[in-house]
């Protein structure tokens, strides 16, 4: 074989090997970077979802305590109404702050579920602020809020790829 042809083939082989190494390394690094970014955003979404859920849950707990004080539920202790409504307003402020992070990082289905849950909790507050609140309307609204909470958690768990199964059913007998 001609020495010039042999050298040209050697150089072509080196160039081809270098290009293949570069492409494989680039693809591997890109995949690694995407995986790291995905994990980073999953962590941030987990924090956003859990902080938001805790803020809404605080509102629900306050609504429940107010309902107990107004005689709509008989499952707990009474609370002073004026400070309770003030605490409910503060809890709403915290919920609104947490909502912005959910809007920024959340998946659309999770955002929709979070919004529905919050709107139902606002309905509970409207019932409680009425002059003569209806116990049945509150209980129905409370059950709906708990169902919507579970829907929010189901969407958040799906978004975060949590595959341990569905949430257990609620026991409504404890609400009467």
If pLDDT is split at 50, 70 and 90, which confidence band does 36 have?
A: low
- Of 28-37, 39-48, 113-122, 128-137, the range with the lowest mean pLDDT is 28-37
The residue among 16 and 66 whose pLDDT is bigger is 66
User: Is 173 a residue whose pLDDT tops 70?
Assistant: no
Supply the angle between the helices 3-69 and 108-129 in degrees, to the nearest 10: 10
Number of domains in the chain: 1
pLDDT given at position 49: 97
Residue 97 within any structural domain of the chain: yes
Q: Residue count of the chain, please give it.
A: 176
User: Is 129 a residue whose pLDDT tops 80?
Assistant: yes
Domain around 54: 42-175
pLDDT given at position 37: 58
Using DSSP, state whether 173 is helix, strand or coil.
helix
Residue 19 within any structural domain of the chain: no
| CA-closest candidate to residue 55, choices 114, 142, 137, 143 | 114
Residue 16 within any structural domain of the chain: no
Read off the pTM. 0.76
When the pLDDT of each residue in the chain is averaged and rounded to a whole number, the result is 87
């Amino acid at each position: 074989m001609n020495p010039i042809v042999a050298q040209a083939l050697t150089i072509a082989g080196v160039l081809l090997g270098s290009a293949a190494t570069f492409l494989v390394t680039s693809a591997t690094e890109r995949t690694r970077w995407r995986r790291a970014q995905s994990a980073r955003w999953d962590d941030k979404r987990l924090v956003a979802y859990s902080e938001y859920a805790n803020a809404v849950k605080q509102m629900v707990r306050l609504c429940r305590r107010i309902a107990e004080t107004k005689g709509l539920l008989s499952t707990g202790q009474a609370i002073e109404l004026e400070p309770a409504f003030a605490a409910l307003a503060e809890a709403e402020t915290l919920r609104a702050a947490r909502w912005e992070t959910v809007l920024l990082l959340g998946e659309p289905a999770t955002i929709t579920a979070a919004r529905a849950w919050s709107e139902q909790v606002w309905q509970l507050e409207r019932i409680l602020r009425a002059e003569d609140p209806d116990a049945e309307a509150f209980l129905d609204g409370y059950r709906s809020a708990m169902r919507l909470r579970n829907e929010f958690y189901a969407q958040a768990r799906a978004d975060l790829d949590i595959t341990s199964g569905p949430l257990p059913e609620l026991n409504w007998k404890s609400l009467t």
